[in-house]
Amino acid sequence: MDDRLSAQIAFLSEADRLKSILRASRLHDDSRFENSAEHSWHVMLYAFVLAEHASAEVQIDRVLKMLLLHDLVEIDAGDNPIHGDVDEHAVAIAEAAAAERIFGLLPLDQASDFRALWDEFEAAQSPDAVFAKSIDRVQTPIANLANGGGTWRDYNVNLAQLETRVGSPIKRGAPGVWAWLRPRLAAFFARA
Amino acid sequence: MDDRLSAQIAFLSEADRLKSILRASRLHDDSRFENSAEHSWHVMLYAFVLAEHASAEVQIDRVLKMLLLHDLVEIDAGDNPIHGDVDEHAVAIAEAAAAERIFGLLPLDQASDFRALWDEFEAAQSPDAVFAKSIDRVQTPIANLANGGGTWRDYNVNLAQLETRVGSPIKRGAPGVWAWLRPRLAAFFARA
Ligand SMILES: [Ca+2]
C-alpha cells in the first residue's frame, strides 16, 4: 500500500512537467503561449459544456478522462502543432515510447487502464474518442478568433487548410459546433 | 441553438482567464508560480489516480466535474492562499458573486447545474465534495516537498499549522493518503 501510493505520487509528480510544455497557441488575451496542462483543463471544460453536441452513445465521463490524460505524452514527445511541418510517423513512435514510460510509473493495473484509454483516444475510432478528438480541435480556433489570428498567422494558414485540419475532425464528432464555427472562421479570413 | 452555443462559447472564452490567476504555490521545479487552470487539471489527475482512497459511496465522475469547475470563481475573486491572512467571510461573498456572474454566462439549465455542483463542493458535506476538497489539499504539499518548501517557507508555516489546515481535510476525505503524507511532512520539518 505504501509502495503503491509512492508509485502513484511519482506519476503525479512527473505529470507536473506538463505545465512547462508550451503549445503553439496563445491565450485569448495574447499575453503568452499556452501550456499543455492548462490546455487539458480547458478542453475538458469545453467537452463538459458542449456534451449535448456529442452523438447519443458518447459517455461524457469517459471523454473527460481521456482528455485528462491525452497530452501527458508531450512531457517526453513535446507538442506537435497541427499546422506545423511534422513527421507524423516519428511523432507516433515518440509518443508511444512516452506513454510506455510515463504511464509505466503507475502501479501495473492503473498503468494498463490509463494506457488503454490513451490508445483509444489516439485511435480516434470509438464514439468517445471521436468526440474527444473533435473537442480538442475546437479550443484553439476560438482562441485564435479572440487574439487576432494566433497560430493561423504564425503558420500562414488559410481557410481551405483549416477545413481539412480542423473542420473534418470537428464535423465528425460535433457537427453542430462546426456549423456554428465555420461561418465565424470564414468571416475572419474574409477580413484578414 | 445558435444563441445557446454562443452563450456556451462566451463562458468558455471567459474561462480562459483562469490561466492568468496565479496561486501562491510553485511548480515542482520551482521555475514559477502555478496558475489556477493548470492546478485544476493537476488536481483532477490526483483525484483520478487516488480514487481508490475515497470512501465507497464517492462517485469519481462527479468529483472530476467538481474539480473541473471549482476554481473558476477565482477569475473574479482571486486565489486565496490557505496559509495567507484571509477574511473568509469577505472571500465567501466575493466568490458567490463570481459564481453568479461566471456561471450566469451559460444557458440557464447549465448555469444552474454548474452552480449546484460548485455549491456542493463549497459546502464540503457530501461524500463527493469531501473527497474533492481533500484531494485539492494534497497537491500543494507534494509540490512543496519537491521544490524545497514553497508556500511553507513563504508563509512561515509549521507542522502543527499544517496538521490543521491540510491534515484535517485530507484525513477526512482520504485518510490513506494522509497516512502516507504525514511522516514525509514530519521528516521535512525535522530537517528544515
Ligand atoms: Ca484549489
Q: Tell me: pLDDT of B129 over 80.
A: yes
Torsion angles phi and psi, residue B62, rounded to 5: -70, -35
pLDDT at B111: 98
B14-32 in b/e form (b: 16+ CB < 10 A) is bbbbbbbbbbbbbbbeeee
Measured between beta carbons, which residues in chain A are less than 8 angstroms from residue B19?
27, 34, 38, 42
For residue B57, give the H/E element and its range: none
pLDDT at B2: 84
Among B1, B3, B4, B9, most A C-beta atoms within 10 A, so best to mutate, is B9
Domain that holds residue A87: 2-191
Nearest CA to B68 out of A43, A134, A28 is that of A43
Measured between beta carbons, which residues in chain A are less than 8 angstroms from residue B177?
5
Instruction: Kindly state the average pLDDT of the residues B103-120.
Output: 98
Q: Tell me: pLDDT of A173 over 80.
A: yes
Distance CA A88, CA A46 (A): 26
| B26 belongs to a structural domain | no
Nearest neighbour of A68 by CB, restricted to B16, B20, B45: B45
| B19 belongs to a structural domain | no
What protein residues have CB closer than 5 angstroms to ion ligand 1? B 136
Q: Tell me: pLDDT of A93 over 70.
A: yes
pLDDT at A85: 82
The reply to whether residue A12 touches residue B142, judged by beta carbons under 8 angstroms, is yes
**pLDDT tens-place string over residues A104-162:** 999 999 999 999 999 999 999 999 999 999 999 999 999 999 999 999 999 999 999 99
Q: What percent of chain A shows pLDDT beyond 90?
A: 93
Alpha-carbon distance A158 to nearest alpha carbon in chain B (angstroms): 23
Nearest CA to B168 out of B130, B112, B118 is that of B130
Alpha-carbon distance A27 to nearest alpha carbon in chain B (angstroms): 7
| B44 belongs to a structural domain | yes
Distance CA A34, CA A32 (A): 6
Nearest neighbour of B34 by CB, restricted to A19, A28, A142: A19
DSSP string, A76-131: HH----TTS---HHHHHHHHHHHHHHHHTTS-HHHHHHHHHHHHHHHHT-SHHHHH
ipTM of the complex in this document: 0.97
pLDDT at B82: 82
Report how far ligand 1's centroid is from the alpha carbon of A177 (Å): 30
Report how far ligand 1's centroid is from the alpha carbon of B96 (Å): 16
Name the band, by pLDDT with cuts 50, 70 and 90, for residue B1. low
Instruction: Kindly state the average pLDDT of the residues B20-39.
Output: 97
Q: What percent of chain B shows pLDDT beyond 70?
A: 99
Number of domains in chain A: 1
Report how far ligand 1's centroid is from the alpha carbon of A171 (Å): 35
Domain of B103, CATH number, reads 1.10.3210.10
| B143 belongs to a structural domain | yes
Cα–Cα distance list, A114 to A66, A117, B48 (Å): 9, 5, 10
Measured between beta carbons, which residues in chain B are less than 8 angstroms from residue A64?
61, 64-65, 68
| B25 belongs to a structural domain | no
